[in-house]
Structure 1
Amino acid sequence: MEMTKDGFWDLIAEAKKRYGQDQDGSFQWLKDQLTILGPQQAQDFHDILHGYQQLANQYGLWSAAILICEHGCTDDGFIDFRAWLIAQGREVYLAALADPDSLAEVEAYGGCQFEELTDTGNTVLETLTGQSAYEGTDLAACNALAAELRQDIAYGGGIGYPCEWDELEAHFPRLCAKYLEPGTVESMLETDNTIWYSGSPDIQKARAGGPPQLNMNMEGM
């Protein structure tokens, strides 16, 4: 029997209920449950989690993660941040994509990164069958799954926009009030220290035209 997105979120919610901020406990419990459920469920869990991670791969959310994470947020760090976000449950995940500033109401822990969660399904599948969940992923099926998962997401205005230091407060007032040290923006501007590499074509495209108006629904990157 295939795992549904509701079944996926039920597992995430139960792990959170049982173990709270104990990520090791959550990881072990999820592995145990998927081991009981079997190889197909482990593969499905892997595919659904990675689908949600990809849908959250948005510059606006990444900008927020840079504020929240203790030591900034690299490419790999943003993968782990998105796993951490998923571990907070469906409501928090969807709210963050509608408005990343809503994460100011979520307690930060574990460095806001959950690297192990990303590989949970794969770890179980390899143990049960010796096969990798990454190799077992069907591209066409994953595209169809992504379209299904996307239906529940209402991206907020600016979700695809990579903010620079002098734009953060306008987009994330609550996160800035909570996490941004006084004088940080001024210091970064004085030293020409940018958040994003301006030579990247992807960044140039995402920033073209300047910051979008806030509180408007838009498609993601």
Structure 2
Amino acid sequence: MSRDTFWALIQEAKAACDQDMDAMEEYLCGALVRMGPAAARGFHNILHAYEDLAYQYGLWDAASVIKEYGCSDDGFIDFRAWLIAQGKDVYLNALKDPDTLADVQPYGECCFECLSYVGDHAYEQLTGRSAYDEMDDALPALREELGKEIVYKDGIEYPREPKDLPRFLPRLCEKYGGPERFQVEPAAWNFDLHEIRRLLDEGKAHDRAAKKEKGGGVR
């Protein structure tokens, strides 16, 4: 399955089912069964490659802003599936600038867990085998190929403390609680984890440098 066929199928299902995620899951599974095992396995692989490519802390922060009670590890997996279900333009725009999600209507708690499994379910119906068992070898090259079309927002790879989010995600923060929410909201990240602390510090340094470059000075 090509990336164009993948996104066309997502768009077709979205147009037919709108925000009904159960109906969209059923629609996609039925379509993939009709298309055959190669298509089902290809859909599964492409979807998971796109989920991997969207594993960016800046997008995770955006998901935490949208979801009132934050976004767990599993919740972020399901959020990325939900994001893919919104279509190619929304997906690519969100990676280019997560703040564009302020223009997207949230529904279903912005979680679409079942979408991650739909290709596997169709493949298993057709072959009796799991698409997961045949996925790992294909993913690195697929991620590299699909990633060529993605433009990431500068600094999207870093997590941020709540007080810094209104600068990185101004429209989302204004829409979901206003800047005041993020002055008192507890941090979503576990600062005791060395990797998270390192990335937070690197992100702060990145943002200070970016602000200075734009002529905003450093506080």
TM-score relative to the length of structure 1? 0.90
Corresponding residue pairs, total: 209
Partner residue, 1:203: 196
Change (3 A) 1:171 1:211: farther
| Aligned pairs for 1:124-135 within 5 A | 124-135=122-133
Counterparts of 2:47 and 2:101, CA distance in 1:
20
Partner residue, 2:154: 157
Counterparts of 2:151 and 2:122, CA distance in 1:
32
Partner residue, 2:216: none
Aligned 8 A contact 1:198 1:204 in 2: yes
SS at match of 1:177: helix
Change (3 A) 1:41 1:57: same
| Aligned pairs for 1:52-63 within 5 A | 52-63=50-61
SS at match of 1:212: helix
Partner residue, 2:105: 107
The one-letter code of the counterpart of 1:132 is S
Aligned 8 A contact 2:123 2:130 in 1: yes
1:183 CA displacement: 4.1
Aligned 8 A contact 1:158 1:212 in 2: yes
| Aligned pairs for 1:5-84 within 5 A | 5-84=3-82
Aligned 8 A contact 1:157 1:212 in 2: no
1:200 CA displacement: 1.5
| Aligned pairs for 1:142-181 within 5 A | 142-180=139-177
1:201 CA displacement: 2.5
Unpaired runs of 5+ in structure 1? Answer: 217-221
Aligned 8 A contact 2:51 2:80 in 1: yes
Q: Which moved further from structure 2: 94-103 or 130-139? A: 130-139
Change (3 A) 1:211 1:31: farther
Write out per-residue CA displacement over residues 47-84 of structure 1, whole angstroms, 9 at most, x where no aligned residue: 00000000000000000000112432100000000000
Change (3 A) 1:98 1:182: closer
Counterparts of 2:49 and 2:85, CA distance in 1:
14
SS at match of 2:77: helix
- Runs of 4+, deviation exceeding 6 Å: none
Identity of aligned residues (%): 47
Partner residue, 2:217: none
Write out per-residue CA displacement over residues 176-210 of structure 1, whole angstroms, 9 at most, x where no aligned residue: 1111257433333xxxx322001212212322331
RMSD: 1.7
The one-letter code of the counterpart of 2:105 is E
Partner residue, 2:182: 185
Partner residue, 1:219: none
Aligned 8 A contact 2:166 2:179 in 1: no
Write out per-residue CA displacement over residues 24-47 of structure 1, whole angstroms, 9 at most, x where no aligned residue: 111100000000011111111000
Counterparts of 2:37 and 2:53, CA distance in 1:
24
The one-letter code of the counterpart of 1:126 is E
Unpaired runs of 5+ in structure 2? Answer: 214-219
SS at match of 1:135: helix
Counterparts of 1:38 and 1:171, CA distance in 2:
44
Aligned 8 A contact 2:166 2:182 in 1: no
1:130 CA displacement: 1.4
Partner residue, 2:206: 212
